[in-house]
Amino acid sequence: MNPSQLLTLVMLLFIPVDFCFATSIDATWNPNFAPTANGTLVKKNKKKKATEKRNMSLLVPTFVVHGAQPGQQASDAMPGKIDGNGNMVITPGVGLQYKGDNGFLLIGAIVKDCYNDLAGTLQFGRYFELGKTTEWGITMGVYARQTPLSCTYDNFGNKSCISLDNYPYKFSASINNQPVDIIPMPFLTFSTALYKDNDVEIDFKVMGNIVLNEVGFSVPF
């Protein structure tokens, strides 16, 4: 046997052993891959199923129900009202919700408020499971909005404004010369699954108190 034939034989003996050894090490070391029956590696499917717990949710506010009927002047200034009295008003928006494994709840959202101005809330609290697809929670935070005003101009161009509501428990500020209300506000939350399969979950969600009751949806991801 000449030297080249001997070298070929050695390579044939060691290459399969080395390949099997490398496959075993890679499958153990890299959690993204799994060995198949024939010894090859395939990438694991890391897609999270709806049956697994998801900490983040996309919030989709849709409309608000007022705890007390707005005055006629305030109702007239609500372009998205569903009924004539302004008890229900379309308030489209978007938000995010985080649920910790220990019951911690964090909610942040931006909406177009009843007067079609930007408003937002940031809430901290706790949630409690009532079942596999239903839960409630309690939060405390702030609700910030552009101060709702009705303004008129006289013949000389002088501007005169009156407030459209008299909610007393608020702090007043100004951003870019626009008056802003910062309102400490708690919420009770409730959500339950409307649709759920192995890949998608859509929940009905309500955040409410005596003053505002926001109705919408949440989509865990």
Residue 207 is which amino acid? Answer: M
Closest CA to 143 of 99, 107, 104: 107
Place of tokens 């220990």: 102
Closest CA to 65 of 217, 218, 190, 208: 208
Per the prediction, the chain carries an average pLDDT of 85
Q: Please give the C-alpha separations between residue 54 and each of 109, 164, 183, in angstroms, as whole numbers.
A: 19, 41, 31
Are the beta carbons of 163 and 151 closer than 8 angstroms? Answer: no
| pLDDT value, residue 55 | 93
**Is 1 a residue whose pLDDT tops 80?**
no
Are the beta carbons of 119 and 141 closer than 8 angstroms? Answer: no
Percent of the chain with pLDDT over 70: 76
- What tokens does 29 get? 């070391």
Calculate ∠ Cα 26-29-31, nearest 5°. 100
Name which of 25-34, 108-117, 127-136 the model is least confident about: 25-34
**Cα–Cα distance for residue pair 49/122, rounded to 1 Å:** 28
| Mean pLDDT value of segment 130-156 | 95
| Mean pLDDT value of segment 174-188 | 94
**Is 37 a residue whose pLDDT tops 90?**
no
**Is 25 a residue whose pLDDT tops 70?**
no
pLDDT higher at 46 or 174 = 174
**Is 10 a residue whose pLDDT tops 50?**
no
Backbone angles phi, psi at 29, to 5 degrees: -75, -35
**Cα–Cα distance for residue pair 41/34, rounded to 1 Å:** 6
pLDDT band of residue 143 (cuts 50, 70, 90) is very high
| pLDDT value, residue 167 | 87
Domain segments of the chain: what residues?
3-43, 56-220
Are the beta carbons of 208 and 44 closer than 8 angstroms? Answer: no
Q: Is domain 56-220 annotated with CATH 2.40.160?
A: yes
pLDDT band of residue 54 (cuts 50, 70, 90) is confident
- What tokens does 14 get? 């060691």
**Is 109 a residue whose pLDDT tops 50?**
yes
**Is 16 a residue whose pLDDT tops 90?**
no
